[in-house]
Amino acid sequence: MSFYHEHDKFHVAVDAIIFGFDEGERELKLLLLKRKFEPAKGEWSLMGGFAKESESLDDAAKRILHQLTGLDDVYMEQLYTFGEINRDPGNRIISVAYFSLIKIKESDLELVKEHGASWVPISAMPPLIFDHNEMVAKALKKLQIRARTQPIGFELLPEKFTIPQLQSLYEAIYGKGLDKRNFRRKLLAMGLLEKLDEKEKETSKKGAYFYRFDQDKYNDLIKNGFNFEL
Amino acid sequence: MSFYHEHDKFHVAVDAIIFGFDEGERELKLLLLKRKFEPAKGEWSLMGGFAKESESLDDAAKRILHQLTGLDDVYMEQLYTFGEINRDPGNRIISVAYFSLIKIKESDLELVKEHGASWVPISAMPPLIFDHNEMVAKALKKLQIRARTQPIGFELLPEKFTIPQLQSLYEAIYGKGLDKRNFRRKLLAMGLLEKLDEKEKETSKKGAYFYRFDQDKYNDLIKNGFNFEL
DNA sequence: CCAAAAGTGTTCATCGTACACCCATGT
DNA sequence: ACATGGGTGTACGATGAACACTTTTGG
């Protein structure tokens, strides 16, 4: 039943760019690992793995993310497919890159440790193997674009968060400071946040109110296509 | 030297979504072909082909575009990689889709005819094989996004074009009418167009001035990152 | 009482949008 | 003369950007 047997076949890898946000340090971070096998053993790289005949590419990406973090059902998006001949020296490998946004605190720290992975601030990215730095650069760019059109910030924060926390997240994504009055006004004007009675008191004496993201109101809005610029 | 021999290998296809603009009919069109081979012989599909061990994915895409149109050096961008297990019934094929913008009049009509291909208005898209309709939908969406941030409209028009022609192109891309005064004002304000002394007199008695795109001025602008919303 | 972060309004410039009439010319 | 598409200016509302002081409370 196969009509295509005469054509070349390729190893297809899936690489995962995993973003997390550290509310305490107010930094955007990436989950990176030190390779435990050849080639390039001992160097920093993204988490990756090979696609299997029995799964779709999306499923492969989910599997690989799960292997490292124990998480399912997280924000994940295909980024780009890297197909230069010598991107992996000595081997022809086509790599489909996916990026995900996860809540650091929900990830399985045991698993992460087992793989020799760590959360590294994007402001201090080490050199990575192959074309992985290029992948990260592309992912960051796409994250910035997404952040303007979808409320993805909420994927990176715990269920309850404060407005100053959310603001530092956006500042980390855009790599620049934002005016807190303008930020708060635009954000609340969208009507997506529910204010709670509880305060977060660890980072300031006064304390900042917690808010919660209202998924239902958001679903209403996207149908009309709205814009989420902050 | 190969460390990965134990993993699955895949057939990797490259599919080309080729946009063109018909200034006469004022319609955005796609270059589609009737398949001459199994499976799905006789049905409409995108142009495609298999990636080879000896070329990068980008080069494969260029090769495939060249086969059908005779063109090189055109606007081309990777769109998305489709990796569902059964997207090509009975065969596991991963397909990397690219979209290109070309000037219809520059394409080699002989080659196009040989492949049994035709220019079909996107307003009258036939059903395509496999997931090709999905590919087209995604390409169109990306084209709309690109059109807002880069002056890609010029890739689809001949070197000399009139402002009404350019406006109908954007109307075709966005699928809605635009105000001609606002369009003209914004466009000229960018300072990217050079007015010529010649007029296009086929579509109207009065005639519309030809303009030319100034690539140098454009290169200056992108360095500062400007916005091209029309 | 003081340090440190949270919270709050107004003004101004810019930009997008809506809108209607005259022009040039081939038939 | 008339039909057809080309070309032009203005007014209004909305939106983004800049900016400084008061509040709360733990130490």
pLDDT in tens, A135-149: 999 999 999 999 988
Q: What are phi and psi of A119, to 5 degrees?
A: -90, 115
Among the candidates A125, A149, A173, a domain finishes at: A149
Is the preceding peptide bond at B39 cis, omega within 30 degrees of 0? yes
Same domain, A16 and A127: yes
Q: Which residue of B has its CA nearest to A59?
A: B84
B99 plus B34 within the same structural domain: yes
Nearest CA in chain B to A2: B91
How does DSSP assign A47-70, residue by residue? EEEE--TTS-HHHHHHHHHHHHH-
Examine residue B230 and state whether it is found in any structural domain, yes or no.
Answer: no
Residues B59 and B121 in one domain: yes
| Any domain includes A229 | no
Same domain for A140 and A167, yes or no, is no
Q: Is the CB of A206 under 7 A from strand C?
A: yes
Instruction: Kindly state the average pLDDT of the residues B109-120.
Output: 94
Residues sharing a CB contact under 8 Å with residue A17, sequence separation 6 or more, in sequence order: A30, A46, A79, A97, A98, A99, A100, A135, A136, A139
Q: Is the pLDDT at B1 greater than 60, yes or no?
A: no
A149 at the B interface (CB within 8 A)? Answer: no
Is residue B5 included in any domain, yes or no? no
Give which of B11, B55, B63, B64 to mutate to test A binding, by max A Cβ within 10 Å: B11
- Quick check: is B213 in a domain? yes
Of A14, A17, A38, A16, the residue nearest A90 (C-alpha) = A38
Among B130, B149, B168, the domain boundary falls at B149
Say if A54 falls within a structural domain. Answer: yes
Residue A42's domain is classified under what CATH number?
3.90.79.10
CB A96 within 8 A of CB A16: no
Same domain, residue pair A113 and A218:
no
Is the minimum CB–CB distance between B50 and chain A shorter than 8 Å? yes
All residues of chain B having their beta carbon less than 8 Å from the beta carbon of residue A12 are: 8-10, 12, 94
**CB distance A10–B51 less than 8 Å?**
yes
CA-closest candidate to residue A146, choices A113, A99, A188: A99
Same structural domain, B207 and B145: no
Please say which residue of A133, A149, A165 terminates a domain.
A149
Residue B169 has pLDDT above 50, yes or no: yes
CB contact under 8 A, A2 and B91: yes
Band (A206; pLDDT cuts 50, 70, 90): very high
pLDDT digits (tens, 9 = 90+) for A69-123: 999 999 999 999 999 999 999 899 999 999 999 999 999 999 999 999 999 999 9
Of residues B54 and A5, more confidently modeled = B54
Does residue A132 share a domain with residue A19? yes
Question: What's the whole-number average pLDDT of chain B?
Answer: 92
pLDDT tops 80 at residue B14 = yes
Together in a domain, A107 and A185: no
Q: Alpha carbon of B21 to those of B35, B119, B122: distances in Å?
A: 23, 9, 10
**A2 in a domain, yes or no?**
no
The answer to whether B35 touches B129, Cβ cutoff 8 Å, is: yes
Closest residue (CA) to C1' of nucleotide C26 is B205
Distance B229 CA to C11 C1' (A): 27
Confidence at residue B178, expressed as pLDDT on a 0 to 100 scale: 96
Give the pLDDT mean for B46-66: 98
Please tell me whether any atom of strand D lies within 7 Å of the Cβ of A186.
Answer: yes
Is some CB atom of chain A closer than 8 A to the CB atom of B123?
no
Q: What is the mean pLDDT of residues B124-132?
A: 95
At A34 the pLDDT is 86
* B200 or A229, which is more confident: B200
Do A60 and A51 contact (CB within 8 A), yes or no? yes
What residue type is assigned to position A34 of the chain?
Answer: K
Q: Within 13 Å, how many C-alpha atoms sit on residue A17's CB side?
A: 27
Answer for A227: CB within 7 Å of strand C.
Answer: no
Phi, psi of B147 (to 5 degrees): -60, -25
* Selected residues 5-24 of chain B with any CB under 8 Å from a CB in chain A: 7-12
The pLDDT assigned to A114 comes to 92
CATH of residue A216: 1.10.10.10
Nearest amino-acid residue to C27, taking CA and C1': B205
Same domain, B181 and B83: no
Evaluate if residue B225 carries a pLDDT over 90. no
Confirm if B103 and B157 have CB atoms less than 8 A apart.
Answer: yes
Q: Which of B3, B52, B81 sits opposite A81 (nearest CB)?
A: B81
Query: Which positions on chain C have an atom < 7 Å from some protein CB?
Result: 3-10, 16-20, 23-26
A40 touches chain B (CB under 8 A): no
Rounded to the nearest 10 degrees, the angle between the axes of helix A163-174 and helix A132-149 is: 130
- B229 located within any domain: no
The count of structural domains within chain B is: 2
* Mean pLDDT to the nearest integer, B194-211: 96
Protein-to-nucleotide distance from the CA of A184 to the C1' of D22, whole angstroms = 17
Same domain, B184 and B99: no
Query: For residue range B23-33, what is the model confidence (pLDDT) as tens digits?
Result: 999 999 999 99
| pLDDT (0 to 100) of residue B80 | 98
Domain residues for the domain of B137 are 11-149
Q: Is residue B2 a part of any domain in this protein?
A: no
Name the residue closest to C18, CA to C1': B179
Among candidates A4, A52, A91 on the partner chain, residue whose Cβ is nearest the Cβ of B4: A91
> In the structure, what pLDDT confidence band is assigned to residue B106 with cuts at 50, 70 and 90?
very high
Which among B2, B81, B90 is the nearest to A96, CB-wise? B81
Average pLDDT, chain A: 93
**Is the Cβ atom of A180 within 7 Å of strand D at any atom?**
yes
Specify whether A29 is located in the same domain as A141.
yes
Whether B51 has its CB under 8 Å from any CB of chain A: the answer is yes
A74 lies in the same domain as A117:
yes
Pairing of strands B27-34, B9-22: antiparallel
Using a CB–CB cutoff of 8 Å, tell me whether B96 touches chain A. Answer: yes
The reply to whether A77 touches chain B by the CB within 8 Å rule is no
Mark yes or no for CB contact B57/A93 under 8 Å.
Answer: no
Higher pLDDT, B222 or A202: A202
What would the pLDDT profile of A175-196 be if each residue is shown by its tens digit?
999 999 999 999 999 989 999 9
